[in-house]
Amino acid sequence: MKFLLRHFYNISVFIGITILVFTFIYWNDLHYLSALALINLAVINFHFYEEFGFPGGFPYFANTIFGYKDSPKPDRFPLNQMSAFLTNWGTALVMYLPPVFFPDKIWLGLAPILFGGVAQLIIHGIVNNKMLKTWYNGGLATTLFGHVPVMILYIQYIETNNLVTVWDYVIGTVLMIVWYVVGIRIIINKGFENLNSPYPFDKTEMDKFHKAYKHLPYNF
C-alpha cells in the first residue's frame, strides 16, 4: 500500500500505455464510442502523472494555494497521499471506465467527456494558471492534447448520428458535478482530511512545486 500511494501516478503511465495499445490493436472490434472512452481513460492516467510526476507540484499547490491557504502541514493537510490516490484512481474507475462497457448510454459517456474537456480545461487553462501566475501548469497538456480532442470527436459523432438529447447533456453534467462534490470533496477529501495524517506526501513530491514554479515562494 505504501508503494502504491507513493507511485500510483507512475503506475498510471503504464496503465495508460497498455490501454492505448489494446485500443489500437482491437480498434475494428470496438464500438467507436467505447474506443473513445478507452482513449479518454488512458489520457486521464497520463493526466495523473503530469500533475504529480512530471512536472508535478500539485500536492504543494493544492495545500497552500488551490484548496487551502497556507496549510500548517502542507505535506499532509488537507490533501495527502491517500486522498490523492483515492480521488484520482476513484475518478478513473467511477467516471471513466463504465462508458467503455456501455457506449449506448450517452449520458454516462458524457460525464467524463465533459469533465475532461470542459471542467479540466477551465481549471487548468484558466484557474490554475491565474493562481500560479503562469501560462502552463501540470495537467494542462494532457487536457489540451488529450481530453479536448476526444471530447470533440465524441460530441461530433453523437450529434452527427442523432444519438444525443438535451437530457443526456443535463444528466452527464449532473453526474460529473455529483461525483466531484459528493464523491471527491465530501466523501474522500473530507473523510481523509487529518492534520496528523499518516499518509504525508514524500519530500520529493513536494519539492517538484519549486522546480516547476521557481517564480513563486516555496516554504517547506
pLDDT digits (tens, 9 = 90+) for 16-72: 999 999 999 999 999 999 999 999 999 999 999 999 999 999 999 999 998 777 799
Domain count, the chain: 1
The whole-number pLDDT of residue 39 equals: 98
161 part of a folded domain = yes
pLDDT digits (tens, 9 = 90+) for 109-156: 999 999 999 999 999 999 999 999 999 999 999 999 999 999 999 999
pLDDT digits (tens, 9 = 90+) for 75-104: 999 999 999 999 999 999 999 999 999 999
Range of the domain at 68: 2-212
219 part of a folded domain = no
196 part of a folded domain = yes
Write 101-106 long-range contacts (CB < 8 A, 24+).
Answer: 101/34, 103/31, 103/32, 103/33, 103/34, 103/37, 106/158, 106/163, 106/164, 106/168, 106/172
220 part of a folded domain = no
- C-beta of residue 209 within 8 angstroms of C-beta of residue 56: yes
The whole-number pLDDT of residue 184 equals: 96
Most distant CA pair in the chain, distance: 54
